[in-house]
A = this chain, B = another copy of it.
Amino acid sequence: MSMKHFSAVEIKALPKRVRASFVNSLSGFKSVNLVGTVSDDGVTNLSVVSSVVHLGADPALMGFIMRPVTVTRDTYNNIMTNGQYTFNHIAPEFFKKAHQAAARYPELVSEFEAVGLTPEFLEGFKAPFVKESHLKIALNFREKMEIRLNGTYLFIGEIVAVQFPENCMKADGYLDIEQAGSVTCSGLDAYHTTQRLARLSYAKADRPLTELED
């Protein structure tokens, strides 16, 4: 296998779109979620994010990266306005509709309607879920942190509710998202299903690993 070496200078010299595609590939396989929000006028909104990251289990916190607000971003405005949003895992059955939700639709157009997905509401929670999704998370906005190096933001939310297929949760708490049908993405535009190699026991310095059963 012939290895290629790129320096920072060579990366910077790539044409802008090539560089974006290349650098976006480097972080590895990514979670991919539809973010559901709603405006004060009741217009539902969907966007796609591939930067959701686990921040902590107690309190249960998740983060995602919001690009600089140099253009109107409905997701940004809706979260700032009412403090609620949802993450919805994407399945092979609707990954193309999900990808299409990244298109720039006018503010008064709901991406749900534009791409053919169904908004679903949970009592007492303003932001819409994606009915077609099998794993849905409701979050209350807690904090945004600006990354001054490039003007992006880390948005931090606290999990207030989760919906998932009951048989996918194992006795030790592991949620089998492969069984549930979640996809992963790479780069800017590639979607992948998965095949589990193994679950491994907790690593200890004085003990060999074993494969877990479930």
Q: Which residues does A use to contact B, with CB under 8 Å?
A: 1-8, 11-12, 14-33, 50-63, 65, 87, 89, 92, 95-96, 99-105, 114, 134-135, 137, 142-143, 145, 147-150, 152, 154, 156, 158-167, 169, 172-178, 182-184, 186-205, 209, 212
Tell me which of B3, B12, B51, B209 contacts A58 (CB under 8 A).
B12
- In angstroms, Cα B14 to Cα A62, docked, is 18
* Number of copies of this protein chain within its complex: 2
Contact (A205, B4) CB under 8 Å given A24-B57, A27-B52, A197-B191:
no
Tell me which of B28, B54, B197 contacts A95 (CB under 8 A).
B197
Q: Which residue of B lies closest to A67 (CB)?
A: B56
- In angstroms, Cα B58 to Cα A104, docked, is 22
Contact A191 B196 (CB under 8 A): yes
Contact B26 A175 (CB under 8 A): yes
Can you show 25 pairs from A to B with CB atoms below 8 A apart?
A1-B167, A2-B166, A3-B166, A4-B164, A7-B160, A11-B60, A19-B57, A23-B57, A25-B175, A26-B60, A26-B62, A27-B54, A30-B54, A51-B53, A59-B149, A61-B150, A63-B65, A101-B203, A102-B203, A114-B205, A175-B187, A189-B212, A190-B198, A191-B197, A193-B195
- In angstroms, Cα B204 to Cα A8, docked, is 31
- Say what secondary structure dominates the interface of chain A: mixed
Contact A4 B174 (CB under 8 A): no
- In angstroms, Cα B148 to Cα A65, docked, is 17
A152 CB contacts on chain B under 8 angstroms: 55-56
